[in-house]
Chain A
Amino acid sequence: MKLEIGNIIIKDVKFGIETKVDNQMLFINRDEIEALVLKDDRIKGVSIELARPGDSTRITPVKDVIEPRVKVSGNGAIFPGVISKVDTVGSGRTHVLKGAAIVTCGKIVGFQEGIIDMSGPGADYTPFSNLQNVCLVIEPIEGLKQYEYEHAARMAGLKVADYVGQVAKDLEPDEVEVFETKAIQEQVKAYPELPKVGYIYMLQTQGLLHDTYVYGVDAKQIIPTIMYPTEIMDGAIISGNCVSACDKNTTYHHQNNPIIKYLYARHGKDFNFTGVIITNENVYLADKERSSNMTAKLSEYFGFDGVIISQEGFGNPDTDLIMNCKKIEAANIKTVIVTDEYAGRDGLSQSLADADVKADAVVTGGNANEVIVLPPMAKIIGTDAYINKVAGGFDGSLRSDGSIEVEIQAITGSTNELGFNKLTTKSI
């Protein structure tokens, strides 16, 4: 499978009479987008607002972040199995509005969703402070059930991303990147002298509000399976996840998985990147055993010499992570795991809920419990009335002057376990 990603660089965003890109400026027609979102009769109102890097703006509570894209050629369309037909994606050409994002906000349940600060110290912790964000603050109709609300908000974000992405269809990209992974035998033959490397992609699937969808299927129900890396780059996986802002993978993270990106960067030089195994993180121990057995078996079956395993979330997924690591190491395959830590505010507590000596190569995205003070912002997109209910916030965290004292786990993407950021932790 060969995928061309054409990046159309976006450096600013503005409302305009037409949704279009002009000279790296993204114009958004507010009315059209509002009408699109309100087609869903579960949504009572939506307010569309823009947030640019450096603005004195706080976006909260953030549910998902999505990169606007369009399929130019090749099989399928954007978000297959969810808002378009369930076709296999990952080949042909896809155009990306690089530097722009759709951010959905809403109080789905009274806690959990995160904070994006566009400037100040908090901005350093979230990659989304660097993007031109089109924010949708979604208000549900009276009495809408949480799952319905989550679903409505999820769909609204994806539909708007698709809609905005359309404008890139006929544009000339500023840069084109090409990624290719061949069918397994061919791929192995391509670099017979290099070690074969795979990627074990763990997806949060605990249940309501903790779900991830693969081609529209709730990943809780899958048995681990193999995918071409380009399928993931092309929108096959989306987030339905509201939990722990710091280490959930938003749809943007899935679209731009950095582990896939850097595995490709050294593919053919240091190793032969031959495939991705996706797996889940369920609450049943039997599922954990089954899924980790499968990842180990598939890793062996595909002849991997080494794998990177990434986690999503914390707590019980630590058990999945360690099971995957142990079983794959037991098959004589070298592992590197990517996680984050909950070492307490003082940094002195046990960081993970599971551990094993076999996990001897760990990359960490930081201690999510570290406390930060976020200064007041001139503009709040969404509402900060729920700040002290956000995971990582605590009573009294919203101060009267509008500043917030929170653990960085309240910041969207701060301790991402795909290695999206530079944040990490050391023992001192």
Chain B
Amino acid sequence: MAYKVIHYINQFFANIGGEEMAHVTPEIREGAVGPGLGINKAFKGEAEIVCTVICGDSYFNENTEAATKEILELIKPYEADAFIAGPAFNAGRYGTACGTIAKAVQETMHIPAVTGMYIENPGVDMFKKELYIVETSNAAVGMRKALPKMSALTLKLMSNEADLDPTIDGYIPRGIRKNYFAELTGAERAVDMLVKKLNDESYTTEYPMPVFDRIEPGKAIKDLSKAKIALVTSGGIVPKDNPDRIESSSASKYGTYNIESVLNLTGDNYETAHGGYDPVYANDEPDRVVPLDVLRDLEKEGVIGSIHPYFYSTVGNGTAVKSSKEFSLEIAEKLRQDGVDAVILTST
């Protein structure tokens, strides 16, 4: 009997409409829709899309929790063997939606989930550890190439073929280090690698050093006097008594604090949660870490447009960037949605 697969797509690929229809709520249709037809073809009868669930990107991203719940309810009766989302190519919100729903399905229904994205889709960084994300081109022209890869990987996962390899199966490496026995000994491989390096031939390192990849600088602000500026800090400034219990070192969370009616941060109401330096100076005068006093004056003088009503705070220390990555994306998304034009980030 053929495997049963559920497919998730957004309003655009369901031919409902573009951005103007991005608010549509989840609906389910029997059988394959849009890209699903191509997936079905690639399955060659070994599996079949039993239903397609469709949701608008805006609806999903603005109501993530509710949308996830609704979709899980909708697809439950189908008792599927696997779940496919997208491919989302370079569409950020679609990618986030695909990642979120695929992860939720994987966790609650215990069936394998596969999605597809362009390597720079923000969803990749958010979900690559948990999900198999097939690498696609950055636009829908890559559909024809992406679908067979996604289908093949899904089939492999359903039949429990354990030995997956990103270079063969076309998914983005999940960053899990796994042992295996190579053809040659390490010494032979080292000598081979050295010869290639000496001859300027290409070689593949067995452990790519974690590198800090660059991000394109954001465009400069044209008119400061109209700009909405947000304050973010990794210096751990929090309201007195640290209501969110932000940890004193390499914090795993962040706090969001309303400063709409605050003119400056004083030691009476704010303090630092940072455990990495002598806290006296920051506790005495938290403006020394988050310069709200200066920024309020500049707002009053009309130098800047406005100050974002919330500031975000966490405790980070220089090199431990990884832990903060997840919530920094969350903060970033909120700032973007709130129409913030620029950010001043302070670190100790």
Contact = CB atoms under 8 A, between A and B. Distances in A.
A307 B195 CA distance: 10
Contacts of A262: 185, 187-188, 190-191
A38 interface: no
Interface in A68-122: none
B164 interface: yes
Contacts of A347: 176-178
A233 interface: no
A351 B207 contact: yes
Given A361-B193, A361-B194, A421 B177 contact: no
B206 A425 contact: yes
Contacts of B194: 197, 271, 306-308, 334, 336, 361
B183 to A, nearest CB: 7
Given A355-B209, A359-B209, A258 B179 contact: no
Interface in A347-371: 347-348, 350-352, 355-357, 359-367, 370
Interface residues of A, number: 56
Interface stretch (B21-29, B74-82, B197-205): B197-205
B178 A426 contact: yes
Contact of B177 (A305, A420, A425): A425
Interface in A339-398: 339, 341, 343, 346-348, 350-352, 355-357, 359-367, 370
Contact of B164 (A305, A351, A361, A428): A428
Contact of A423 (B179, B188, B198, B205): B179
A179 to B, nearest CB: 15
Contacts of B182: 422-424
Contacts of B183: 422
B209 A336 contact: no
A428 B165 contact: yes
Contacts of B178: 347, 367, 370, 425-428
Which of A261, A360, A361, A423 neighbours the largest number of chain B CB atoms within 10 Å of its CB?
Answer: A361
A421 to B, nearest CB: 6
A145 interface: no
A270 B209 CA distance: 27
A124 B181 contact: yes
A416 interface: yes
A195 interface: yes
A306 B129 contact: no
A418 interface: yes
Nearest to B175: A427
Interface string B205-232: 1111111000000000000000000000
A416 B176 CA distance: 21
Contact of A348 (B129, B203, B207): B129
A65 interface: no
Contact of A419 (B177, B186, B198): B186
A263 interface: yes
B277 interface: no
Contacts of A370: 178-179
B191 A362 contact: no
A426 B129 contact: no
Contact of B205 (A361, A367, A421): A361
A72 B188 CA distance: 30
A17 to B, nearest CB: 39
A365 B206 CA distance: 10
Nearest to A350: B210
Contact of B206 (A261, A343, A362): A362
B208 to A, nearest CB: 8
A44 interface: no
B230 to A, nearest CB: 31
Contacts of B179: 366-367, 370, 408, 423-425
Contacts of A189: none
Interface of B: 129, 164-166, 173-191, 193-195, 197-198, 203, 205-211, 322
18 contacts: A197-B194, A258-B186, A261-B187, A305-B198, A334-B197, A338-B187, A346-B176, A359-B209, A363-B206, A366-B179, A422-B181, A422-B183, A422-B184, A423-B186, A425-B179, A426-B178, A428-B173, A428-B176
Interface of A: 124, 195, 197, 258-259, 261-263, 265-266, 270-271, 305-308, 310, 334, 336, 338-339, 341, 343, 346-348, 350-352, 355-357, 359-367, 370, 408, 416-428
Given A346-B176, A370-B179, A425-B180, 4 more contacts: A259-B191, A305-B198, A362-B208, A428-B164
List of 6 A-B pairs having minimum Cβ-Cβ separation, nearest first:
A419-B186, A419-B187, A258-B187, A347-B177, A343-B177, A362-B207
